[in-house]
Structure 1
């Protein structure tokens, strides 16, 4: 049986990723900071683990504050010991504040960088030696393609999220021909979550988190690493490439297809003479 670690899995998209992987025969490490249920933050690593175990599958609850390097190391090591290995790691932890530079205090800026790009970097550093030794393993970061419109009105947040995408594009060159891959994934539309519930986002504007989780599963199962290594993927577009044509089941409002918030095409970051194997 394969195994996966999902960091940021106590609610929303992360919870759904963990449940979807479990239903498809993955042992799952459910990692997040939230260990106590509150009205402000419903769902914990224990509630998600219980959902998985109730269905007769294997899961491991892992307290993990991603600002603490040792806790990330502990989560990975716990999975290796409990599952006898790891095949797939997902970094879904995130700190969000969509405000302009002058409206974002330095303390909040630091928090976003620590949770988003720094936490992802630590996870990669801790799991990569194991993946490289066994010459197999997939890393997935929840981060966007790089394009100018993404930055507008939320530069402080974008710094960390795009930094994660740089990790995806850059590390891919180091992983070529190793059997290990790194990918980014981002939603094409708004996705239901605790945040959208709190903000009362209309149902017709969103898709269910299952679309993102299904795209994660396809990445986890992909055998042609050239299709995913170093790629900043969009959930809908990747699923279409895998043969999915009907997305109506993902609608939050069954009668309305939500508007796409991502561009249909993204600019190439390659320059003349560039390639995956370029060293400079």
Structure 2
């Protein structure tokens, strides 16, 4: 049996990822900071675990505020203690404010930085010794491919999310040949969630969270590390492995939602990609 930890799993996409993995044979650590429901935030780690257990799956609730390093460490430790090992970890936690620089106060920027790139980095650092020692393990960060249009109108948010993608691309070089891999995944269309429902987003422009969860499932089940370092789009990845009918993912069965992501993305590679940098290290330098 495979074992997974989903961070940011109390509602929305994270909830569906946890449920989908559990339905397909994973034991799942359901991690998030929400333990009590409210009118604005329905769903908790306990309600998701109950949903999974009601259908015969195995899951455990884990209280985890990703702004606290100790919580992330304890989430990983709890899974190891309960499951024996970890095979797959998904970082879905996120703080979102889509505003311009002038309209984003430092306090909000700090929150997004702590939850998005810093939380992901902390989790990765906690996992690496474990995964490298066992010679296997997959890490998935919910982060976008890097392209210029993404920054427009939401630069402060983009700085953190693109930072997560840089972590994926950069760490992949360090993981080559280890059996461990890291991948980024982002949706092609708007995904139905508590936020989109509260904002009154029309169902005709959204897909169900199942599409993203199905992509996560297939990435976790990949038999090799061929996706190491890649920044994928859910629909494009599913098409690449043979999925052709996306009708079941529509929120409005009569309408195919418009794609919000580009059809193709720029290469980040340069001509000097494989040239080594020769840097003379000065032990007296304070740089």
TM-score range, shorter chain: over 0.9
The 3-state SS of whatever aligns with 1:150 is helix
Deviations 1:52-73 (A, max 9, x none): 1111221010000000000000
Deviation at 1:224, TM superposition (A): 2.8
Aligned partner of 2:243 in structure 1 is 244
Deviations 1:32-62 (A, max 9, x none): 0111100111100000011111112210100
Q: Distance in 2 between matches of 1:12 and 1:54?
A: 19
Aligned partner of 1:105 in structure 2 is 105
Aligned partner of 1:95 in structure 2 is 95
> What are the residue-to-residue correspondences of 1:1-280 with 2, within 5 Å?
1-226=1-226, 228-274=227-273, 280=277
Q: Distance in 1 between matches of 2:97 and 2:18?
A: 25
Aligned partner of 2:282 in structure 1 is none
Deviation at 1:225, TM superposition (A): 1.4
The 3-state SS of whatever aligns with 1:185 is strand
Q: Distance in 2 between matches of 1:188 and 1:55?
A: 29
Residue 279 to residue 193, structure 1, CA distance change in 2 (3 Å): farther
Q: Distance in 2 between matches of 1:33 and 1:156?
A: 24
Q: Distance in 2 between matches of 1:5 and 1:18?
A: 8
Aligned CA RMSD, in angstroms, stands at: 0.8
Aligned length: 277
Q: Distance in 1 between matches of 2:218 and 2:91?
A: 16
Q: Distance in 2 between matches of 1:34 and 1:279?
A: 46
Moved over 6 A (4+): none
Q: Distance in 2 between matches of 1:155 and 1:181?
A: 28
The 3-state SS of whatever aligns with 1:75 is helix
The 3-state SS of whatever aligns with 1:161 is helix
The 3-state SS of whatever aligns with 2:90 is strand
Give the structure-1-normalised TM-score.
0.98
The 3-state SS of whatever aligns with 1:89 is strand
Deviations 1:156-189 (A, max 9, x none): 0000000000000000000000000000000000
Deviation at 1:279, TM superposition (A): 5.4
Deviation at 1:273, TM superposition (A): 3.1
The 3-state SS of whatever aligns with 2:115 is helix
Q: Distance in 1 between matches of 2:24 and 2:246?
A: 20
Deviations 1:106-136 (A, max 9, x none): 0000000000000000000001111000000
Give the structure-2-normalised TM-score.
0.95
Q: Distance in 1 between matches of 2:256 and 2:224?
A: 31
